[in-house]
Structure 1
Amino acid sequence: MKKATLFAALLFSSVGAFAQNWTLDKAHSNLNFTVTHMMLSEVDGKFTNFDVKMTSAKDDFTDAQIELTADVSSINTNQERRDTHLKSPDFFDATKYPTLAFKSKSVTKVSGNKYKVTGDLTMHGVTKPVTLDAVLKGPVTNPQNKKTLAGFIVTGEVKRGDFTLGSAPAAVVSDEIAIRASGELVKAN
């Protein structure tokens, strides 16, 4: 029995040894969202301070483990008064819940370079499962520094009410929050 346990431990540790770490190139990445105001216009926003870490051993990223964190205080809608309101207890309550996070559970290839990424999203102290669409660009080798890069465009929608994020009626601020993230990841050597 001890031999089987030792063999399993060696097998799993050697598989993990082949996993590659990827880090976010923040200069070439965005974490954006859109809500509808008064059922008339779309209001775009973003988080300016966020990070993504990914580990994957497979070339097609179907075994990827992805973790995203964002500083809620970095929310920016190009309207200082609105940003202050969004950080308040009326919405994100950035003092009490300073971070939003996503941790993947699975990455499934749909076709070609299209994927479904399923995981847990935590906002405003509430964690819910979400499934997002992702498009892979690359990987490519940067001709200047010879590093391997991969790009992902991630889109999806979450419901504000699922995360108790603000009590404004849906006619004022839509319950649907569209997410669009674009990230460039660099493979660690």
Structure 2
Amino acid sequence: MKQLLSFLFIAFLSITTFAQTTWKADPSHTQLSFGITHLGISEVEGRFNEFEGSITASEEDFSDAQYNIVIQVPSIDTGVERRDNHLRSADFFDAEKYPEMTFKSTSSTKVGDGKYHVTGDLTFNGITKTITLEVVHRGTIENPQNGKIISGFAFSGNVKRSDYNLGPNFPEAVLSQDVLIDVDGEFIKQ
């Protein structure tokens, strides 16, 4: 009987040790933003309003996390309707032909306390390229209003416009090659 209890206890520990937890982005507390330099003198910022994101990890410190984000390109919002419509056109995102942008991580390397380099495939405009994002885990808490467990994350990185055929008719003097990616949000434990 002792052996059976010992075996069950070890089996339980093994299952809980290797159990993966999924965290879903809370759209009310998550922003997917970008910025690009216009005419070399100012930054135009925008965001995508419709998206889904998840993080799956078995380690409490997220050192083995896998990240997956699906963005609805037509939800682009720079605060100027005419510019947004132009960005949705074939000159830029070609949102009718390519309505989704995706990021799926392939590796995550811990580089400090709560800091990671996350590499993965970013796909939009019919093109997939490997990029690396800097990710900061800001902490995990229990929301006092509803009792849900939430974790805060910040993601940042750069992509080159030319890598994705984004606005190829606009020279760098008009729009910078570098586009800053900035994601800040809360993920709810499922």
Which residue of structure 2 aligns with residue 126 of structure 1?
A: 127
Match of 1:175 in 2: 177
TM-score by length of 2: 0.89
Q: Which amino acid aligns with 1:123?
A: F
Structure-2 residue corresponding to 1:62: 63
Q: Percent identity over the alignment? A: 47
Instruction: Please tell me whether the aligned partners of residues 57 and 64 of structure 1 are also in contact (alpha carbons under 8 angstroms).
Output: yes
Aligned-pair CA distance for 1:27:
0.4
For 2:21 and 2:146, the matched residues in 1 are separated by 18
How far apart in 2 are the matches of 1:15 and 1:118? Answer: 27
Aligned to 1:86: 87
CA displacement 1:72-100 (0-9 Å, x = unmatched): 10000111111000000010000000000
Aligned Cα root-mean-square deviation (Å): 1.4
SS at match of 2:146: coil
| 1:28 matched to 2:29 | yes
CA distance in 1, matches of 2:90, 2:16: 45
Equivalent position SS for 1:144: coil
2: CA distance, partners of 1:16 / 1:117: 23
Q: Which residue of 2 aligns with 1:144?
A: 145
Distance between the aligned counterparts of 1:24 and 1:132, measured in 2? 17
Question: How far apart are the structure 2 equivalents of 1:160 and 1:15?
Answer: 44
Asked if structure 2 preserves the Cα contact closer than 8 Å seen for 1:133 and 1:155, the reply is: yes
Unaligned residue ranges in structure 2 (runs of 5+):
1-14
Contact 1:62 1:106 in 2 (8 A): no
Q: How far has the Cα of 1:119 moved from its partner?
A: 0.4
Q: Please give the TM-score of this superposition, normalised by the length of structure 1.
A: 0.89
Question: In the alignment, which residue of structure 2 is the partner of 1:38?
Answer: 39
- In the TM superposition, residue 112 of structure 1 has moved relative to its aligned partner by 1.1
In 2, Cα distance between equivalents of 1:66 and 1:112 = 19
With over 3 angstroms needed to count, the CA separation of the structure-2 counterparts of 1:149 and 1:95, relative to structure 1, is same
How far residue 125 of structure 1 moved from its aligned partner, in angstroms, is: 0.7
Range 152-161 or range 106-115, more displaced: 106-115
Q: Distance in 1 between matches of 2:40 and 2:47?
A: 20
Distance 1:77 1:135 in 2: 25
Q: Which amino acid aligns with 2:46?
A: G
- 5+ long unaligned stretches in structure 1: 1-13
Q: Larger C-alpha radius of gyration, 1 or 2?
A: 2
Deviations along 1:132-159, one digit per CA (max 9) or x if unpaired, are: 1111111111122222111101111000
Which whole-Å CA distance do the structure 2 matches of 1:56 and 1:133 have between them? 17
> 4+ runs of 1 displaced by more than 6 Å?
none
Secondary structure, counterpart of 1:92 in structure 2? coil
